[in-house]
Structure 1
Amino acid sequence: MIKRLSTGRSWYKRFQYEEGVDKPGDVRNIMLVVAALIASVTFQAGVNPPGGVWQDNDNGHFAGRAIYAAQEGAYYVFLISNTFALSASVLVIISLTHGFPFHLEVIIATISMMVTYGSAIFAVTPNESVKFRYVIAAASVPFVLRCLIQLFNIVFNKDERPGLEMEMMRN
C-alpha cells in the first residue's frame, strides 16, 4: 500500500478561529501575545536598523546614522512599513486591554514607547534621506482607519438595532 503524503485537506483549517468554539478570553490573550511580539520586533528594528549604523565619520557618513539609509527608496519602504506595523500593534494592545486594571498605565507605556521609537529613528536617520511627515502619517494610519471603521459602523448599521436611536436620545 502506498502512503499518501497529503490528505488533501488544508492543514491550517485546524488552527483557524471558530466563533462559538474558541473562548473570547483565549482569543484576546493570543492576540495580545502576537501584538506584543510584533511591537517588540518592529521597535527593535527601528532602534537598530538593518545593516547597523556607521561607526565613524568618514566618506560623507556620520557615526550613529543608519547604513541602510544610503539606499533611500528601500529605507523609506522599511521605515514606513515598520512604523505602520508598530502603530497597528500598539492599537491592538490598547484596544484589547481597554477596561483592564492599569489600562491608563498601558496607554502611558505605549505612548512612551512610540515617542522613544520616534526619537530613535530620528537619531539614526539622516535628515536628507527621509521626510518624517511620511513616517508620522504611517504611524497615524491604523488609528485613523479604526476611527473611520467605527464611524462607518455607527452610520450604516442603524438597521441592526432599531431601538438604538431611541436609547441614544434618552441618554
Structure 2
Amino acid sequence: MLIVATLIASVTFQAGVNPPGGVWQDNDNGHHAGRAIYASQSAAYYVFLISNTFALSASILVIISLTHRFPFHFEIIIATVSMIVTYGSAIFAVTPDESVRFRYVIAAASVPFILR
C-alpha cells in the first residue's frame, strides 16, 4: 500500500507542477508566459486542480499514516511538508489568478486530513 500511495503522490505532484497541455511560452494573444494552457478552459482546469490536489493530499495522508512507526518518521514529515509547499507554489505560479478560487483548492487539500 505504501508503494501505491507513493506512486499516486508522485503522479499527482508531477501533474500539478506540469499541468496537462503545458504552459504558454510567450505573452501573445492575451495570455502570459508560464501560465497553464489548460487554464483557458476554466471549468475543466478547476475540476482537474481540485481532484489532483485531493488525490495528492489523500496519498500523503496514507504515506504519513503507514510510516508512523518508521525510525525516520520526523524526516519523512519534513520532506512531505516541503513537497506540499513546493506543490502549492507550483500551482500558484502556473494558474492565472482569475481562473481559480484557491480557497477551494486549500479546502480540497484539507478534506482527507479532516476526515481522518
- Same fold, TM exceeding 0.5? yes
Correspondences of 1:75-94 after superposition (within 5 Å): 75-94=45-64
Shift of 1:104: 0.2
Alignment of structure 1 residues 130-169 onto 2, 5 Å:
130-146=100-116
Residue 128 of structure 1 aligns to a residue whose secondary structure is coil
Name the structure 1 match of 2:82.
Answer: 112
Structure 1: segments with no counterpart, 5+ residues = 1-30, 147-171
The offset of 1:114, in angstroms, is 0.6
- 1:38 aligned partner: 8
Moved over 4 A (4+): none
1:5-20 map, 5 Å:
none
Give the aligned CA root-mean-square deviation in angstroms: 0.4
Paired-residue identity, %:
87
TM-score (normalizing by structure 1): 0.67
Q: Distance in 1 between matches of 2:87 and 2:25?
A: 21
- Which structure would you say has the larger Rg? 1
Give, in angstroms, the shift of residue 99 of structure 1: 1.6
**Structure 2, unaligned runs of 5 or more:** none
TM-score of the aligned structures, taking structure 2 as reference length: 0.99
